[in-house]
């Protein structure tokens, strides 16, 4: 197509494609160098009980500050970590760090849980369950306090394999949360066969609760979860109106800038000392 339009068009496209490819290579190079070092950090964003205002958990979110690249956001770094499979090593560090953080947080609040995001690549790695089991044993945490967040995309692949992995995770005692729920294409009929503890309503529905369609979808997800014996959490809660609506439909938990942005570990500990974010 570029050829049809002549040489100039082709020359216009080629450098921009190069820029992307080069950027990707530079990120990959720096990521390999950063492995095992101190450039990666986990931030923690509170999850709040919408009835009591109490912090009930935290989600670990990856942050990467590189001397050459500055802050690289997860939307950029995670896909490259997945393609290169560096996510396996990085993911192990994330699970390990989160479990160590559970030990610290439980001294402040014995019931607090921490959620880690699992990439599909990690989820499909044959070692995932034994790896998590190993970290639980090494750190000595109560497995009930560890949550994993996975997206619906794991449910649409090979569902029998996914069900088996979820069952094995469930047998370890850890909790499973389906992240960004409502944005994927998971068949609802699969859900009833799966040991899932939480549905996390995607922030795109929460953000525009003014839109009656999103209100309807959010209500329907809460009702679906309840009828399947699962709990619900809404992500991206930014306004008091959104919180109020979620409370009226009995959504269990909320997370978002209204309550707190993701925090450095020490700040998260300080906030947990406060314990309750509204009453």
Q: How far apart are CA 13 and CA 250, in angstroms?
A: 51
- Residue 187 touches which of ligand C2E, Mg ion, none (Cβ within 5-8 Å per kind): none
Contact in structure between 32 and 73 (CB atoms under 8 Å): no
Contact in structure between 47 and 56 (CB atoms under 8 Å): yes
- Residue 242 touches which of ligand C2E, Mg ion, none (Cβ within 5-8 Å per kind): none
The answer to whether residue 253 forms part of the interface with Mg ion (CB under 5 A) is no
Q: Running DSSP on this structure, what letter comes out for residue 157?
A: S
Beta-ladder partners of 49: 253
CB 63, min distance to ligand C2E, A: 7
- Residue 221 touches which of Mg ion, ligand C2E, none (Cβ within 5-8 Å per kind): none
Interacting positions 174-203 with Mg ion (CB under 5 A) = 179-180
Question: Please, which residue, 16 or 203, has the CB nearer to ligand C2E?
Answer: 203
Interacting positions 195-234 with ligand C2E (CB under 6 A) = 203
CB atoms within 10 A of CB 212: 9
The answer to whether residue 78 forms part of the interface with ligand C2E (CB under 6 A) is yes
Task: Name residues whose C-beta falls within 8 Å of residue 135's C-beta, 6 or more positions apart in sequence.
Answer: 92, 95, 96, 99
Bridge pairing between strands 263-264 and 40-49: antiparallel
Given candidates 46, 57, 254, 256, which one binds ligand C2E under the rule CB under 6 A?
Answer: 256
The answer to whether residue 252 forms part of the interface with Mg ion (CB under 5 A) is no
Question: Please, which residue, 1 or 31, has the CB nearer to ligand C2E?
Answer: 31
């Amino acid at each position: 197509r570029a050829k049809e339009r002549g040489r100039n068009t082709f020359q216009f496209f080629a450098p921009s494609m190069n820029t992307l490819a080069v950027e990707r290579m530079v990120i990959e190079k720096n990521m390999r160098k950063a492995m095992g070092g101190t450039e990666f950090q986990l931030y923690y964003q509170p999850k709040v009980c919408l009835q009591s205002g109490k912090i009930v958990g935290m989600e670990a979110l990856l942050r990467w500050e590189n001397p050459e690249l500055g802050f690289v956001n997860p939307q950029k770094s995670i896909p490259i970590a997945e393609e290169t499979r560096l996510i396996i090593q990085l993911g192990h560090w994330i699970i390990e760090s989160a479990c160590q953080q559970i030990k610290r947080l439980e001294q402040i609040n014995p019931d607090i849980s921490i959620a880690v995001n699992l990439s599909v690549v990690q989820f499909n790695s044959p070692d995932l369950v034994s790896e998590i089991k190993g970290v639980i044993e090494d750190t000595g945490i109560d497995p009930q306090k560890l949550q994993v967040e996975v997206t619906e995309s794991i449910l649409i692949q090979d569902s029998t394999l996914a069900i088996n992995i979820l069952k094995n995770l469930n047998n370890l005692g850890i909790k499973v949360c389906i992240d960004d729920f409502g944005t994927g294409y998971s068949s609802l009929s699969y859900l009833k066969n799966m040991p899932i503890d939480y549905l996390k309503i995607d922030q795109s529905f929460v953000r525009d609760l003014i839109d009656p369609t999103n209100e309807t979808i959010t209500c329907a997800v809460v009702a679906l979860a309840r009828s399947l014996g699962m709990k619900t959490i809404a992500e991206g809660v930014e306004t008091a109106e959104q919180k109020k609506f979620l409370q009226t439909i009995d959504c269990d938990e909320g997370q978002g800038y209204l309550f707190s942005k993701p925090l450095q570990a020490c700040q998260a500990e300080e906030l947990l000392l406060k314990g309750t974010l509204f009453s």
